[in-house]
Structure 1
Amino acid sequence: MWLPTVFLIVLVGTQQTLADRVLVLGETSAIKETHSVFLNSVKERGHDLTIRAADDSQLALFKHGQLIFDHLFVLAPGVQVFGGSLSPAEISKFVDAGGNVLVAAGSNIGDALRELAVEHGFEFDEFGTSVVDHFNYDVKLDGGDHTTIVVKDNQLINSELIVGNSAKLNPVLFKGVGLSAGKLNNLALKIVKADGTAYSHDPKASPVKNPSLAGSRTLLVGGLQARNNARIVFSGSVDLFSDAFFAAQVNPSNPIVKAKGVVSGNAEFAASISKWVMKESGVLRVNSVNHHKKGETVPPAEDYFITDDVVYTINIEELKNGKWVPFQGKDVQLEFVRIDPFVRQTMKNINGRQTAAFKIPDVLGVYKFLVDYRRVGYTHVYDVQQVSVRPLWHTQYERFIRSAYPYYASSFSMMFGLVLFSIVYLYHKDTPVKGAKVLESEKKKN
């Protein structure tokens, strides 16, 4: 019986080793109760959660230069200074090393989260402000200041990988601070935008004059995917992930929203967001790449020649439900590049096997087979295969070229004319002139 026992221990140990390590930071230990449904859903997907206070003096993301955790959840909106070695700069270093971050803030936002957002091209509004919408709020959950907002499906980013199926998603409840994306942040994703009637303001302050954020320019949830495919999401509401909002029923003030009495879509929305951040969805990888001449199966031993017919194949896989399956996208393009692309072609997808066939240009040089695939929600696919293209050997050129037929005709016509002229010149006899014989006889007499 000891063999099965040992095997079970090894199997359990392997599963724990392969599980992603998640560090969850809350303002207090109460985060385990107030956000238990969300945290348990992450744990049920096979992740190993470590829950700490955001000001814990033992906090660290690196040990001996290696990542201790794979993901970081910051559910502590009011934290002013992180504990231990944590800081906005350290978290940015964590992202540069491939770590993924989910940040949830609130109206009581502290300096730590504000600095962290600025580090990644976002900016939260001032302390004490909230997103207010007098036309789209929940009539039962709101306290009278119209800050408990009902988010409709048209406010979500058009990406099922990030937010799930927005058409089937119940309205989402939001209560918190607004944020905006920097103008130079080209990687920013506007995951959830405020409605056109919303604005950001302190509801306890004087009447609104010039709100710093208004309309759809106000973001409720923003994110980005770094160039190393690390993912970061900033939510202006920590309540969005709370048990109270997960179980709440939606009672919108706007009569156009036909969702009265239904359970909020916060649970589904939070699950989709967390899966995207933790790279459980929208992850692509290159399995294999091959290029060869038409009619062959392997690359040439030396170089390609100009005007060769080539076939390029790349196998791309997508991670779905923990398994790698063939990627079904039909918009992957191949470029054949020297300095600029000479060929750009959308490849045919046959069960994940992307194929392109074309003729090499009649220009020699060093080229690259380049696949640079960027789509919202997916990781960046970049693959380069460098090849040389040389001119034909003198024995490889055609003997007769159709475009040169006029020159061939002129050459043969000249040869024929020369032969004809030679025959005429050699065999032509002159006709005697009158009086030529008389003159000739007189010459003889003299």
Structure 2
Amino acid sequence: MLKLLSVLTFLTLTLPFLAHSFSPDHPTDRRILVLLDDLALKSSHSLFFKSLQSRGFELDFKLADDAKISLQRYGLYSYDALILFSPSVDRFGGSIDLAAILDFVDSGHDLIIAADTNASDLIRQIAVECGVDFDEDPAAVVIDHTSYAVSDTEGDHTVIASDDFIKSDVILGSKKIEAPVLFQGIGHTVNSENSLVLKVLSASPSAYSANPKSKLSNPPSLTGSAISLVSVVQARNNARVLISGSLSLFSDRLFRSKVQKAGSPKKHEKSANEQFLTELSKWVFHERGHLKAVNVRHHKVGEADEPAIYRINDDLEYSVEIYEWHGKSWEPYVADDVQVQFYMMSPYVLKTLSTDQKVMHVIPSRLSVFPVDFLLIPFLIFVLFFVLQGSYFTAFKVPDVYGVFQFKVEYQRLGYTSLSLSKQIPVRPFRHNEYERFIPAAYPYYGAAFSMMAGFFIFTAVHLYSK
């Protein structure tokens, strides 16, 4: 009997963890259309493509001017993401054009754009629509006479060794990038007021954009750290876009190249291009930084069912579970900046949600009711603690205002998909029989009324019965 109870208790406590860890639904893109200028890019950039295929992506390679290519069929998209390794294309084949690509992103799909010195107006226009402006001079490339890659053959300093990365573990992974990234291509700028665009790899303060084959007659338009080499965009619909000014950044040649940054004695046996682009592609294709919220609940304190209406001054509890996709499973997301608003035209209540640890105090009593093997107790406590990490809750009092309110969670954090949750609930005033009969604050008025009645009675008696 004890063995059976042990198994039942184990299954009861671990099923929620297993359900979230092995959930079949995942946000990552599975089918990717790759448009190329030349099919030779399949072999010259094979390491990047193999890294995607090893993670379970299905790549469909097409020439950019193929007359049969199409992003959708019968109103449904055939692909989950798009990679444009065709910087020189003036016009796409089939039904793909600028509007089709923008609609593809607007529908929540992801995009990678790699430009180059021969970038066409079409590629530049797509980048502009995504919030990025390439240098207007078609012959200009990024030059850096301080942070260039040391080489015996390259003397114009257009091969840059950059290590100015964005400081975000969710975008570039938790493993530190030790070596510089080799970059050779054109620079671009991003609007500082546009919070949707982020510079992932920036040029050094000594860099500038110009034509290396001609003398400078005027100051360059792009200089210093304002030049972005690689940028990313996360749209309001959580679609993600990667924009690079270099197609060779993804090449096997730069993946395998040794690198030494000018002025640094340290020589690296391998550039950081592979690590940088692998981690960045994980973010772009939602293998990291993708959040979901489940089990959004609210109820009165002491009750379990969600009511259809609240009364002013009710005590209530609100809870939600948040999970992050980690490539293979949903894992609890832990943060201390998740907030909920109790909102009607403006927030009447703003509370920071805390991680739910209340159930941890219930574990000993549960274990006493359902005996389990001694060796299972630490494991069960660990599992419960791990599952509850993603559960957030708070409690507050309904304000003394009636109307139609909303529970709103608007969560936005750098590198993570945004969460927008809302639940509508009406709030009513007290009924006529729910008010207090005698309010302590009104005792002076009660006393005044009764003293007035007593005084009138005494005055009447004295007036009637006195001579």
Give the equivalent residue in structure 2 for 1:151.
162
Within-5 A mapping of 1:331-342: 331-342=337-348
The yes-or-no answer on 1:180 pairing with 2:189 is: yes
Whether 1:317 aligns to 2:355 is no
Retained in 1: the 8 A contact 2:117–2:186? yes
Aligned partners of 1:280 and 1:167: how far apart in 2?
Answer: 18
- Alignment partner, residue 80 of structure 1: 90
Question: How far apart are residue 420 of structure 1 and its match?
Answer: 5.4
Alignment of 1:370-409 (within 5 A): 370-409=408-447
Amino acid at match of 2:331: V
Describe the superposition over 1:154-213 as per-residue Cα deviations: whole angstroms up to 9, x where unpaired. Answer: x22222121223744422111110011246644212222222111111111222622121
The AA in structure 1 aligned to 2:354 is K
Q: Take 1:219 and 1:371, find their aligned partners in 2: how far apart are those partners?
A: 33
1:347 aligned to 2:353? yes
Q: Is contact 2:342-2:408 (8 Å) kept?
A: yes
Residue 213 of structure 1 corresponds to: 222
Aligned residue pair count: 409
Measure the CA separation in 2 of the matches of 1:66 and 1:259. 52
Q: Which residue of 2 aligns with 1:291?
A: 298
- 8 Å contact kept, 2:312–2:428: yes
* Counterpart for residue 332 of structure 2: 326
Contact 1:170 1:259 in 2 (8 A): no
Query: Residues 366 and 387 of structure 1 are in contact (CA less than 8 Å); yes or no, is this contact kept in structure 2?
Result: yes
Instruction: Report if aligned partners of 1:164, 1:272 keep a CA contact under 8 Å in 2.
Output: yes
1:290 and 1:298 in contact (8 A); partners too = no
Structure 1 vs Structure 2: percent identity of aligned residues?
Answer: 42
Distance 2:275 2:441 in 1: 67
Cα distance in 1 between the residues matched to 2:263 and 2:447: 85
State the Cα distance separating 1:101 from its structure 2 match: 0.4
For the structure 1 residues 424 and 167, does the alpha-carbon distance in structure 2 shift closer, same or farther, using more than 3 Å as the test? farther
Is contact 1:130–1:176 with CA below 8 Å preserved after alignment?
yes
Return the letter of the residue paired with 1:29: L
Q: How does 1:36-435 map to 2 (within 5 A)?
A: 36-125=46-135, 126-140=137-151, 143-152=154-163, 155-165=164-174, 167-182=176-191, 185-207=194-216, 209-255=218-264, 259-300=266-307, 302-350=308-356, 351-418=389-456
Q: TM-score, normalised by structure 1?
A: 0.86
State the distance in 2 between where 1:206 and 1:200 align.
12
Q: Distance in 2 between matches of 1:33 and 1:230?
A: 29
- Name the CA distance, whole Å, in 2 between partners of 1:315 and 1:348: 11
C-alpha displacement at 1:415, in angstroms? 4.5
Instruction: For residue 427 of structure 1, report the CA deviation from its aligned partner.
Output: 7.3
> Distance in 1 between the 2:340 and 2:415 partners?
20
Q: Deviation at 1:251?
A: 0.5
The 1-side partners of 2:297 and 2:191 are apart by 41
Aligned partners of 1:32 and 1:205: how far apart in 2? 34
Greater length-normalized contact order (CA 8 Å, ≥ 6 residues apart): 2
Distance in 1, matches of 2:449 and 2:178, equals 79
Q: Which amino acid in 1 is paired with 2:145?
A: H
Superposed CA deviations along residues 191-239 of structure 1, whole A, max 9, x for unmatched, are 2222211111111122262212111211111121112211111011112
Going from structure 1 to structure 2, the CA distance change for 1:135 and 1:166 (only over 3 Å counts) comes to farther
Structure 2 unaligned segments of length 5 or more: list them. 1-23, 357-388
* SS of structure 2 residue aligned to 1:213: coil
Contact 1:142 1:148 in 2 (8 A): no
| Corresponding residue SS for 2:209 | strand
Q: Measure how far apart 1:421 and its partner are.
A: 5.0
Unaligned runs of 5+ in 1: 1-13, 431-446
Q: Deviations over 1:73-92 (max 9, x none)?
A: 11222222222222222111
Q: Distance in 1 between matches of 2:175 and 2:225?
A: 18
Range 78-87 or range 214-223, more displaced: 78-87
Larger radius of gyration: 1
The amino acid of 1:392's aligned partner reads F
Aligned-pair CA distance for 1:280: 1.0
1:299-354 residue CA offsets vs partner (Å, 9 max, x unmatched): 21x42111111111111111013211121122111011100111111111231111
* Contact 2:334/2:390, CA 8 A, preserved across alignment: yes
